[in-house]
Amino acid sequence: MTDQSQAYVEKGKEFTRDMNYIPDRILVGESSADPLDDTFPSGSKDSPRDVQVWPVEPGRYRLVAAKACPWANRSIIVRSLLGLEDVISLGLPGPTHDKRSWTFDLDPGGVDPVLGYERLQQAYFSRFPDYPRGITVPAIVDVPTNGVVTNDFPQITHDLFFEWRDHHRPGAPNLWPDDLREEMESVMKRVFTEVNNGVYRCGFAGSQESYDAAYDRLWTAMDWLEERLTDRRYLMGDAITEADVRLFTTLARFDPVYQGHFKCNRNKLVEMPALWGYARDLFQTPGFGETIDFDQIKQHYYVVHTDVNPSGIVPKGPDLSGWTSPHGREKL
C-alpha cells in the first residue's frame, strides 16, 4: 500500500504558507462591485485583475468546504450569514485527507451527490489536468463542467458579499462597511499574518529558533486582541464584519487543537476573558456555531499531520461545554 501521508514540517526551517491559488473570480459585472476593490485587493496574491471572470448565476456553483478546515469554515459562515444557501450549494468533504486530496467520505457511497466525485482532486484535474499544487478547500466548482473555478479563500468570502448582493437575505449583515474599511483591512492583515497563520507557524516550525520566534509573534497578537476586545463587542465595534469571521475560525480551534497540537501553550483561550467571551458570543450567533464540528476539527489535525502527531491518537479533551455558557458581551 502506498504511503499517502503528507509532510508539513521542513526540518531546520520556519513554516511559509504557499499563497498561490487559482485567482478566477465570479463577478456580477465586468469588474468588481466593490468600489474599493483596487484600493484594497482581497485575494491571496493581491487580486490580479487579468483573471478569468465567471458570471453570477444562482444554482450554477457548488462551494466545497470541509468543516474541519479554518480557511474553508470562513466561507461556510459567510454563505450562512448572507443567506446564500439556496443560491450556492454546499459540498462537505470529510475531516481527513491524504496527500492527494480531500474526499467525500461523509456522503453515501463516498461520492459527492452533485459533482459525482469521490475526490475534490477530480474537479481540479477536470480543468487543470496537470494542476501542480495542493488540492485545497474552500473551492468553488462550476457544476455544468464539474471543473474548479477558484480556491482563493480570501477572495471567495469577499466576492460572496460584494458580487452576490442581489441574492442576500433581507437584513443580511454588512460585512464590509465602507466607513471602517481602511482600519478593517489593517486589522484583518494582522489577524491573518500573526494569528490565523501564526498558529501554523508555531505548529509547523522546523527548528527551535523558528518556533520560539513564531510563539512570541502569536502571543503578542493575542494580547493585542485581548486588549482590543475588552471594551468593544466585535473587532470593528458594535457590528459583525468579515474581520470577525476570519478571527473566529482560529479561536474555535485554539483549545481543541492549537494550544496542544501546535504548541501554542502559553495559556488557553478560556483563560483570556475578553477573547473567550467574544468567541462564545460569536459561537452563539446564528451562522457561526452550527458550522463548528469539534470532532471533525480534532480528527483533521491529529490524524492528518502525521509528522507532528505520529501516533495518530486523537485526544478526548478538552471540555467544550463552556461554548454555550452566557457571555455577557451585549452590554459592551
Catalytic residue ranges = 69, 200
Helix or strand or coil: residue 25?
A: strand
Omega prior to 315 cis, within 30 of 0: no
* CB-CB contact of 186 with 49 (8 Å): no
Cell numbers 499531520 correspond to 305
Task: Determine the straight-line distance between the first and last CA of the chain, rounded to whole angstroms.
Answer: 57
Nearest Cα to Cα of residue 90 among 72, 102, 108, 105: 72
Alpha-carbon gap, residue 218 to 222, rounded angstroms: 6
What cell does 288 get? 457561526
* CB-CB contact of 210 with 27 (8 Å): no
169 CB-contact burial (10 Å; exposed 0-12 / middle 13-18 / buried 19+): middle
Alpha-carbon gap, residue 108 to 62, rounded angstroms: 18
Contacts of 142 (CB under 8 A, 6+ apart): 54, 60, 61, 148, 149
Angstrom distances, CA of residue 42 to CA of 39, 187, 188, 208? 10, 13, 10, 33
Alpha-carbon gap, residue 154 to 41, rounded angstroms: 10
